Structures are given as structure tokens and as C-alpha cells.
Amino acid sequence: MGPVGIEPGRLEPDRLKNEALTDCAMRLHLVRRPLGIYELNAVFIGTTCSILTISIYLLIVGIVEKDSCPIDTRIPPWLISTAALMIIERLMEAMNQAMILRFVNSNPKPSSRDEIKDWEEERAASQSKALWAVTSLFRLGIFVSTIVGSVFVFSAYSNHSQCNALLYWSSFVYCIVSLAMTALGLIVFGAVMCIFAVLAVKSK
């Protein structure tokens, strides 16, 4: 005889259903494994692959055509050094992402809002400040190098026929795209700051 108000015939299916759900949950827990270095988020992987592809291309062009631009002999070494900076920066960022993944694998993100703040602080503390500082310096170096290289490339535009076409136009396109993306980033950053400022004023 089952509990009052419950048909005896329904107890067995409900029990079997609960056991099946428990078994399924246990199986999911057993097959779950930590994220690895090759399972970084898609945005980082896509960005890194794109930057590395462009960097290696520019590096090869700069090395192969290092003596092919008499109008401005500074362009090939500039292209080589900039490409090298970009490659090293990506490798350092990959190391940083690996450290983040290692922390997340060892310390899963909690569900409680109170615990999330402490978890975020611990995650930030687990990262190498020295690596972050060096990576930031490389990014600054890439930015400065792009500005300097743009001066070289644009100054030689009127006589670019005296420079190897592949070398010059690769440098030219890189400078244009980099400056355009930098300008877009600054515009977006400025817009976000303005929005935060407006929201801060309204909240007072």
C-alpha cells in the first residue's frame, strides 16, 4: 500500500525514473574532463591564427626581399622586426591563456555571486604579473613600430615603383589595416567610456 493520495502503481516508474536520472548525472560527471590548451575559446584561437598567419607572411616577405627596396632600405628590416614582435606577443598571450585555463580547471567557477568575486580575485592573482607586463610592452612596441613604419611606407609612396611590389604593397596594406583597426578601437573605447560616464551621472 502506497502513501495516501498516490497510486501504488505509480511509485515504481517514478523510482526508476529517478534512478535513471541519477545514473545519467553520474556518467556525465565521470566523462567530464578539464579543458586543455587546445580548447581555448574560439575567439582567441581565431585571432591568434589570423595574426600568426599574417606575421609569418610579413616575416618571410621581409627576409626574402630585404635588399629589394632601394628607395627606403629601412622598410624591410622594419617589416621583419614588426612581424617578429607580433609572433612573440601571440606566444606570450597563449602562455597567459594557458595559465588561466590551468586555474579554471583546478578551481571551477562557483555559482554563488558572493563566491564569484573571490574567485575572480584569485584568478587574477594566479596570473604572472611579469608576463602581463612584458606582453604589454610588446604590444606597445608593435603600436609604435606600426606608426614609425607607416611614416617609412607612406613617404615612399610617390616612388614605390623603385621598391619590390610584393614588399611595398604588403607593408602598405598592413599599415592601412592596422591604423584603421586602431582608430576603430579608440572610437569604440571612447564610446564605451562616454556611456559609462552618462550612466554614472544618471545614477547620482
Instruction: Give residue 123's region: left, alpha or beta (phi > 0; psi -120 to 50).
Output: alpha
Question: Hunting for cell 568575486 — which residue is that?
Answer: 117
pLDDT at site 17: 53
- Which pLDDT belongs to residue 199? 87
Single pTM value for the model: 0.71
**Which pLDDT score is estimated for 43?**
81
* Cβ neighbours for 168, distance < 8 A, ≥ 6 positions apart: 69, 75, 153, 156, 160
Rounded Cα distance between 39 and 46, Å, is 12
The pLDDT, as a whole number, for residue 31 is: 40
- Percentages helix, strand, coil for the chain (3-state, rounded to 5) are 80, 0, 20
Distance CA 117, CA 137 (A): 29
Please give the Cα distance from 124 to 202 (Å, whole number).
Answer: 31
CB 146 within 8 A of CB 178: yes
Which pLDDT belongs to residue 18? 57
Chain centroid to Cα 5, Å, comes to 59
pLDDT lower than 70: segments of the chain:
1-40, 114
Whole-angstrom distance, CA of residue 63 vs CA of residue 133: 29
